[in-house]
Amino acid sequence: MAHTKTTDADELTARRPRDGLFIRVYFGDGRHIGPGMIELLETIRSERSILSAARALGMSYRRAWLLVDEIGRSFRQPVVETHPGRRGHGTDLTPFGERLIALYREIEQASAAASRTAVDELRAALAPLEAGVEIL
Amino acid sequence: MAHTKTTDADELTARRPRDGLFIRVYFGDGRHIGPGMIELLETIRSERSILSAARALGMSYRRAWLLVDEIGRSFRQPVVETHPGRRGHGTDLTPFGERLIALYREIEQASAAASRTAVDELRAALAPLEAGVEIL
């Protein structure tokens, strides 16, 4: 179930129609990281709070917490650290949390650069949009 | 709805846990291509029949037909051609259908090659699997 939730998270982050590559990295045993998890970590970094990040992304605190917990259990090192004494900004990313974001964004950028010619050929082959074509 | 269906198709093709990059190419207007559509086209190529391809992939004929129709409407050129007179092997890919497969597989391979170092670093950071970790 935990992994299904994060797959949903990837879909939920699509607020406007996506453009370009959508990438999840699978590890062969059901574990994976994708754009939903990474966006949550980036929002925790800026909000310094899981609760505020959840609100900013329109998800429940419980859901955000479960996602963070799942990411944390997938890797050897924690991705966030909490400071219970602080009011408000009680959560920061760990250096490994930062590294996870950097690696994922690097994978996206390197993949986009490497496949640009092929993607451009696909775009050039698209039909003009008609009224009958449904848009997400 | 049509695009939601193809997103589901991408999920359905995961019969064993995926390994490596999962890539969809989005065109900024809701249209996209992903592994589910491409696998369907490859199976139509080998089966030379939408019905046989649907059976081989465990989907209904209607669903396979709708997916093929959606791909066809997305691009300027058709991806399959049907030969109503023939018994059995009534459908072939068009040259453009072949090109679509080739371009998608090229995007997958180029992206995997370009992000290998980053993916390896992620794999090296994975926690050992415990009994408590759920696997898809």
Top pLDDT among A52 and B87 is at A52
Segments making up each domain of chain B, as ranges: 38-118
Q: In the predicted model, is pLDDT for residue A50 greater than 80?
A: yes
- In this predicted model, which residue has the larger pLDDT, B101 or B5? B101
Residue A73 and residue B133: Cβ atoms within 8 Å?
Answer: yes
B78-119 residue pLDDT tens: 999 988 776 667 899 999 999 999 999 999 999 999 999 999
CB contact under 8 A, A22 and B26: yes
According to CATH, the topology of domain B38-118 is Arc Repressor Mutant, subunit A (1.10.10)
How much is the pLDDT for A132?
A: 52
Contact between A24 and B21 (Cβ < 8 Å) = yes
Q: Average per-residue pLDDT in chain A?
A: 87
Give the model confidence (pLDDT) of A13-26 as tens digits.
Answer: 556 789 999 999 99
User: Given this model, what pLDDT does residue A10 score?
Assistant: 73
pLDDT in tens, A56-105: 999 999 999 999 999 999 999 999 998 877 666 789 999 999 999 999 99
Q: How would you write chain A as a 3-class SS string?
A: CHHHHHHHHHHHCCCCCCEEEEEEEEECCCCEECHHHHHHHHHHHHHCCHHHHHHHHCCCHHHHHHHHHHHHHHECCCCEEECCCCCCCCEEECHHHHHHHHHHHHHHHHHHHHCHHHHHHHHHHECCCCCCCCCC
DSSP B35-62: HHHHHHHHHHHHHSSHHHHHHHHT--HH
Q: 28-57 in B: which are within 8 Å (CB) of A?
A: 28-33
* Selected residue with higher pLDDT from B17 and A31: A31
CATH code: domain A2-119 is 1.10.10.10
